């Protein structure tokens, strides 16, 4: 078997050849480049045997020029065992088969030929580095083997691409998990920890070590943590008191109601604002007049409007979220490329279908940006609202602790508020990722 | 696919399109007439900004014409009296910048048309889409999103998505503009292969004269804005064609014959651009 003259080949030429073959046609440029890096060229003279059936299946071949006769052995049950291979044909694919370590065919050069050879093992390794694209290549190999070489499916079982996570599965939480695992591998979480340490360290340093005059009245971090973790808190609130959790739950419940109300009203309003010019001309001026009014300015009206204080608190929490959601949704609709709408009409959609299949999904990225802002401002507004009224809630804790001079409790309330707020906005982000897998995958591609 | 020779004949008669007639009044198309036979590949070549897309949009029904008439198989699409046609699946557009829905998988993109029109159930449409994609050599990427495949593959998927509707006319707006020359040549062969199987009328806009002569039965060279045919060339190289054509003597001759006209208009467009800008 002429193993001799394996010569290097220029990557650009190799890429050009790969692009013209069935399995590699759809592969992205960067991956092609990596495949090109493991390719060699070899020339054969008419009459040379490239390999015999039963020989070791190591390399994969691509014909660049010349002719090669390819005869599958009878055991393969190909419908047409004989095939003459010309430019662009890929053979030697036994190197990629699951069950067969040996050649299934005899390949003889009939007209002086230039071929490219790629080691099967090495190719699989390269494909594993990009499992999504790798899967595509392997599935195209399978198609090629069954279609062009008329080999039954049973034999054409290709080796799987080993992958850590099935990021390709369009359903399920997989992509989200994939993203989490990427996040853990990136420097982000560690930078986050460092940032937090600097913040808390600074607090300790300024208040308790340096004792700067500005922070004289401010409780130190050790005092706060001691109070927070104490089974018998001096000021009555710690992780051991049931009250603490009651405040948290009441606040979460209020924010949840306000957030869902804001979403249920804000998203449709935003969609219609963006979709209908007339509707926008009618509604938007009013919208823009009300939007900049701060929550505190709404307080008197809220108290007058709602008899029940609870409703007033929820109304106040809801307002800013509602504006943020509606505005972002509208911008989302306006951001949609006109071509998508036109394409949908071209493909026979009516107006309702365009709305459902283009406008709604097309504005989702903006909607979720809006929703993240919306949870944030809901917590913002909640504190203002709870300062006005109510008996429970984190805003209430902060406010009453101030009037009753329980400074460590103020800080406990603030930190808890921050942490719970962070968690809720992370939840919205995860929900967004889950609903927009296509975007994640695009981002994942971009990061590669 | 059943196609008769009378499917997809387009006749553009004296079409005028003026943008913003009460204001800036940009004349984009000026008394433009062009006949495209059923099943013909008609290539439109013209300088940047001359009004090619404007003409395509008028056929597709994306905007009104100012005057004139466009018919498809004798039926009036738009005319001075009814200036805007309704976009429909008999004239599907493949857009200049691509318009596969990024939020749908490639398969769902291809299956989209028949589902919207209620012609096929979701399952039937998917099955048909799978087989059409396989025929076009696009298997393996069905369950990916458009953002995950290369731009060349996206263009091919978009063409298959259009063909799913069995259109009379395919309107292509510089579909291969952004591709490198290697990918482009693969795309040309793929398009011709699809064309030989489906025989739709193709209205194909391009900047690239070689591309135009390689693919087209007919090449309309447009004037710089306002746009109308300056010269209509019949390409007498028989179909089916393959890449051998590019090196043939006749091909070179045709390029030479038309190059001057194209260049002249490009210079004009460039100079008027300088004046405006
Ligand atoms: N909506 C519009 N309002 C006013 N002028 C427009 C509008 N759309 C296009 N034009 C102008 O009409 C002319 C023709 O535009 P068109 O997009 O049809 O050109 P084109 O030949 O497709 O150009 P390109 O090769 O750059 O795609 C251009 O000068 C453009 O500025
Ligand atoms: Mg254009």
Instruction: Establish if B96 belongs to a structural domain.
Output: no
Average pLDDT in the B143-170 region? 90
**Cβ contact A348–B141 (<8 Å):** no
Of residues A284 and A155, more confidence is placed in A284
Instruction: Establish if B241 belongs to a structural domain.
Output: yes
Instruction: Establish if B234 belongs to a structural domain.
Output: yes
- Which among A26, A345, A445 has the least Cβ separation from residue B141? A26
A158 vs B: CB within 8 A: no
A292 vs B: CB within 8 A: no
Q: How far apart are CA A383 and CA A235, in angstroms?
A: 20
Residue B197: predicted pLDDT: 85
CB under 5 Å of ion ligand 2: residues: B 53
First to last CA, chain B: 49
Indicate the domain borders of chain A: 11-170, 229-445
- B80: domain CATH number is 3.40.50.300
B155-171 b/e (C-beta count within 10 Å ≥ 16 → b): bbbbbbbbbbbbbbbbb
The finding on whether B145 has its CB within 6 A of some atom of ligand 1 is: no
B177 and B141 part of one domain: no
Residue A402: predicted pLDDT: 87
Task: Kindly report the pTM of this predicted structure.
Answer: 0.75
B191 and B257 part of one domain: yes
**Contact criterion met (CB below 8 Å) for B48 and B96:** no
Using N-to-C axis directions, what is the helix angle for A394-403 and A407-435, rounded to 10°? Answer: 160
Q: What is the DSSP letter of A161?
A: P
Q: Mean pLDDT across chain A, nearest whole number? A: 86
Beta bridge partners of B67: B16
Sorting pLDDT into bands at 50, 70 and 90, what band is A153?
low
Using N-to-C axis directions, what is the helix angle for B106-116 and B122-135, rounded to 10°? Answer: 130
Minimal Cα distance from A32: which residue of B?
B150
**Cβ contact A346–B140 (<8 Å):** no
Q: Whose CA is closest to atom 12 on ligand 1?
A: B28
Sorting pLDDT into bands at 50, 70 and 90, what band is A427?
very high
Report CA dihedral (A290, A295, A301, A304) to the nearest 10 degrees. 150
The finding on whether B206 has its CB within 6 A of some atom of ligand 1 is: no
Which ligand 1 atom lies nearest to the CA of residue B52? Answer: 21
- Which among A337, A343, A441 has the least Cβ separation from residue B93? A343
Range of the domain at B224: 4-90+168-272
Residue A174: predicted pLDDT: 60
% of chain A residues with pLDDT over 70? 92
pLDDT at B3 exceeding the cut of 50: no
B240-250 b/e (C-beta count within 10 Å ≥ 16 → b): ebeeebeeeee
Determine if residue A222 is left, alpha or beta; phi over 0 gives left, psi from -120 to 50 gives alpha, anything else beta: alpha
B138 vs A: CB within 8 A: yes
Which parts of A129-220 fold into alpha helices (H)?
131-147, 174-185, 188-203
Number of independent structural domains in chain B = 2
Peptide bond into B71 cis (omega under 30): no
pLDDT at A197 exceeding the cut of 90: yes
List pLDDT tens digits, range A338-375. 999 999 999 999 999 999 999 999 999 999 999 999 99
Q: Give the CATH number of domain A11-170.
A: 2.60.120.10
Instruction: Establish if B73 belongs to a structural domain.
Output: yes
Instruction: Establish if B138 belongs to a structural domain.
Output: yes
Q: Which CATH superfamily is domain A229-445 in?
A: MetI-like (1.10.3720.10)
Last-in-domain residue among B166, B193, B214: B166
Which ligand 1 atom lies nearest to the CA of residue B51? Answer: 18
B22 and B63 part of one domain: yes
**Contact criterion met (CB below 8 Å) for A247 and A394:** yes
Average pLDDT in the B216-242 region? 90
Q: Whose CA is closest to atom 2 on ligand 1?
A: B19
Q: Whose CA is closest to atom 16 on ligand 1?
A: B51
B60 and B16 part of one domain: yes
Residues of B in contact with A140 (CB under 8 A): 139-140
Residue A30: predicted pLDDT: 86
Last-in-domain residue among B166, B181, B214: B166
Residues with Cβ within 8 Å of residue A197, at least 6 apart in sequence: none
| Distance (Å) from CA B51 to ligand 1 centroid | 5
**Contact criterion met (CB below 8 Å) for B98 and B151:** yes
B123 and B247 part of one domain: no
Ligand nearest to the CA of B227: 1
Which of B49, B58, B65 best tests ligand 1's pocket when mutated (most atoms within 8 Å of CB)? B49
B77 and B61 part of one domain: yes
The finding on whether B51 has its CB within 6 A of some atom of ligand 1 is: yes
Backbone angles phi, psi at A42, to 5 degrees: -145, 145
A285 vs B: CB within 8 A: no
A358 vs B: CB within 8 A: yes
B160 and B223 part of one domain: no
Q: What is the DSSP letter of A233?
A: -
List pLDDT tens digits, range A378-414. 998 998 888 776 688 999 999 888 888 888 999 999 9
- Which among B60, B116, B143 has the least Cβ separation from residue A349? B116
B82 and B110 part of one domain: no
The H-or-E segment that residue A290 falls in is helix A277-290
Residue A260: predicted pLDDT: 96
**Contact criterion met (CB below 8 Å) for B87 and B118:** no
The H-or-E segment that residue A312 falls in is helix A309-335
List pLDDT tens digits, range A227-267. 999 998 888 888 899 999 999 999 999 999 999 999 999 99
3-state secondary structure of A57: coil
Residues with Cβ within 8 Å of residue B257, at least 6 apart in sequence: B233
The finding on whether B62 has its CB within 6 A of some atom of ligand 1 is: no
B117 vs A: CB within 8 A: yes
Residues with Cβ within 8 Å of residue B198, at least 6 apart in sequence: B1, B3, B163
B258 and B231 part of one domain: yes
List pLDDT tens digits, range A405-415. 888 999 999 99
Q: Whose CA is closest to atom 1 on ligand 1?
A: B19
Which of B17, B25, B53 best tests ligand 1's pocket when mutated (most atoms within 8 Å of CB)? B53
**Cβ contact A132–B148 (<8 Å):** yes
B207 and B76 part of one domain: yes
B176 and B258 part of one domain: yes
| Distance (Å) from CA B52 to ligand 2 centroid | 6
B64 and B140 part of one domain: no
A436 vs B: CB within 8 A: yes
Instruction: Establish if B97 belongs to a structural domain.
Output: no
Backbone angles phi, psi at B101, to 5 degrees: -70, 120
A11-170 and A229-445 in the same fold: no
């Amino acid at each position: 078997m002429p193993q001799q003259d394996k010569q290097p080949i220029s990557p650009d030429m190799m890429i050009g050849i790969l692009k013209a073959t069935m399995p590699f046609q759809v592969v992205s440029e960067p991956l092609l480049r990596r495949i090109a890096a493991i390719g060699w060229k070899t020339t054969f003279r008419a009459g040379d045997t490239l390999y015999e059936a039963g020989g070791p299946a190591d390399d994969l071949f691509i014909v660049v020029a010349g002719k090669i006769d390819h005869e599958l052995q009878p055991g393969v049950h190909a419908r047409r065992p004989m095939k003459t291979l010309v430019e662009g044909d890929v053979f030697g694919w036994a190197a990629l088969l699951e069950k067969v370590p040996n050649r299934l065919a005899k390949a003889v050069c009939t007209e002086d030929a230039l071929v490219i050879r790629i080691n099967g093992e090495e190719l699989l390794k390269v494909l594993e580095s990009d499992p999504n694209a790798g899967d595509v290549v392997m599935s195209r190999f399978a198609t090629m083997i069954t279609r062009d070489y008329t080999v039954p499916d049973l034999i054409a079982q290709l080796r799987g691409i080993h992958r850590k996570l099935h990021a390709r599965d369009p359903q399920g939480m997989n992509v989200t998990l994939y993203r989490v695992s990427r996040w853990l591998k990136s420097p982000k979480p560690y930078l986050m920890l460092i940032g937090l340490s600097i913040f808390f360290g600074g607090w300790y340093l300024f208040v308790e070590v340096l004792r700067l005059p500005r922070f004289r009245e401010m409780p130190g971090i050790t005092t706060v943590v001691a109070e927070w973790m104490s089974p018998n808190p001096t000021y009555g609130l710690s992780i051991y008191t049931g009250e603490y959790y009651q405040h948290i739950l009441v606040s979460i419940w209020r924010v949840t109601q306000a957030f869902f109300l804001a979403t249920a009203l804000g998203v449709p309003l935003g969609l219609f604002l963006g979709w209908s010019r007339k509707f926008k001309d009618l509604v938007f001026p009013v919208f823009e007049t009300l939007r900049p009014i701060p929550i505190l300015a709404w307080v008197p009206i809220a108290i007058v409007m709602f008899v029940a204080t609870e409703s007033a608190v929820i109304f106040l929490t809801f307002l800013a979220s509602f504006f943020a959601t509606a505005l972002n949704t509208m911008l989302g609709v306006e951001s949609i490329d006109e071509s998508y709408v036109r394409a949908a009409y071209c493909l026979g959609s009516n107006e309702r279908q365009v709305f459902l299949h283009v406008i709604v999904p097309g504005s989702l990225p903006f909607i979720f940006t809006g929703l993240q802002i919306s949870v944030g401002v809901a917590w913002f507004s909640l504190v203002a609202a709870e300062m006005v009224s109510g008996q429970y809630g984190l805003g209430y804790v902060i406010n009453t602790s101030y009037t009753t001079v329980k400074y460590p409790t103020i800080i406990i309330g603030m930190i808890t508020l921050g942490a719970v707020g962070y968690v809720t906005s992370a939840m919205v982000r995860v929900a967004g990722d889950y609903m927009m897998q296509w975007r994640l995958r695009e981002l994942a591609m971009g990061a590669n | 696919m059943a196609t008769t020779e009378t499917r997809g004949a387009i006749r553009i008669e004296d079409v005028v399109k003026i943008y913003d007639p009460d204001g800036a009044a940009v004349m984009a198309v000026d008394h433009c007439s062009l006949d495209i036979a059923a099943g013909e590949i008609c290539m439109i070549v013209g300088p940047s900004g001359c009004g090619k897309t404007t003409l395509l949009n008028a056929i597709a029904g994306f905007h009104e014409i100012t005057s004139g008439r466009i018919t498809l198989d004798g039926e009036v699409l738009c005319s001075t009296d009814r200036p805007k046609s309704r976009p429909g699946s008999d004239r599907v557009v493949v857009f200049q910048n691509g318009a596969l829905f990024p939020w749908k998988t490639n398969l769902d993109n291809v299956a989209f048309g028949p589902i919207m029109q209620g012609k096929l159930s979701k399952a039937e449409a998917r099955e048909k889409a799978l087989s059409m994609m396989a025929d076009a050599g696009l298997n393996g990427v069905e369950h990916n999103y458009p953002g995950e495949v290369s731009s060349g593959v996206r263009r091919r998927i978009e063409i298959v998505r259009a063909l799913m509707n069995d259109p009379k006319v395919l309107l292509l707006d510089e579909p291969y503009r952004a591709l490198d020359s290697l990918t482009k040549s693969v795309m040309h062969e793929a398009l011709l292969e699809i064309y030989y199987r489906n025989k739709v009328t193709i209205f194909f806009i391009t900047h690239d004269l070689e591309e135009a002569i390689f693919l087209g039965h007919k090449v309309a060279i447009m004037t710089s804005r306002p746009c109308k045919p300056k010269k209509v060339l019949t390409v007498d190289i028989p179909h089916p064609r393959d890449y051998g054509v590019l090196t043939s003597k006749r091909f070179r001759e045709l390029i030479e014959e038309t190059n001057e006209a194209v260049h002249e208009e490009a210079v004009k467009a460039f100079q008027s651009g300088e004046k405006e800008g």
